[in-house]
């Protein structure tokens, strides 16, 4: 009887450790959408951000309409997503923009990395990068890194 009780107790504890920790944090890679996913072609060069900050965290349509100008009709699901958007002046032309977001469960922090790859053209635009990320919870923080690299 005592061995059966210990066995059940061990199973219960191990189940709680795995399922409770999984519920507490969605560690690893998170989904990212961008304006191109919503039908806005060439958003990096056609969308503009009216801000002097390095980037903006936008959580609602009212703020979006105030500081973002776009030729596209962008329909953002504000209940499920937040928008991180920023301007980056480039020394050369734009080849591509890649994004990666990881959840750091230990620090309860989302880490968003923006990789802007340059090409060799002499055009030096200011690009507007953006990432639609899963809605930040009240206790989560966001850390953004922008890296500009040559092709």
Residue 1 has which token pair?
């009887």
Helices then strands, counting H and E runs in the chain, come out as 3, 9
pTM tops 0.85? no
Q: Where are the domains of the chain?
A: 26-150
Nearest to 132 by CA among 116, 110, 147: 110
Q: Give the single-character DSSP code of 36.
A: G
* Contact status, residue 142 vs residue 150, Cβ threshold 8 Å: no
Residue 57 has which token pair?
């965290």
Mean local confidence (pLDDT), 92-111: 91
- What would the pLDDT profile of 72-98 be if each residue is shown by its tens digit? 999 999 999 999 999 999 999 999 999
């Amino acid at each position: 009887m005592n061995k059966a009780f210990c066995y059940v107790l061990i199973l219960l504890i191990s189940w709680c450790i795995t399922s409770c920790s999984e519920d507490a944090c969605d560690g690893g890679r998170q989904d990212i959408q961008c304006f191109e996913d919503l039908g806005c072609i060439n958003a990096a060069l056609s969308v503009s951000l009216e801000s002097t900050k390095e980037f903006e965290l936008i959580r609602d349509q009212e703020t979006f309409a105030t500081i973002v100008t776009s030729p596209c009709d962008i329909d953002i699901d504000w209940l499920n997503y937040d928008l991180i958007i920023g301007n980056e002046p480039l020394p050369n032309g734009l080849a591509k923009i890649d994004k990666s977001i990881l959840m750091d469960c230990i620090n309860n922090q989302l880490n968003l990395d923006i990789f802007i790859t340059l090409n060799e053209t002499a055009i030096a635009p200011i690009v507007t990068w953006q990432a639609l990320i899963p809605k930040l919870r009240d206790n989560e923080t966001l850390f953004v890194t922008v890296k500009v690299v040559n092709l």
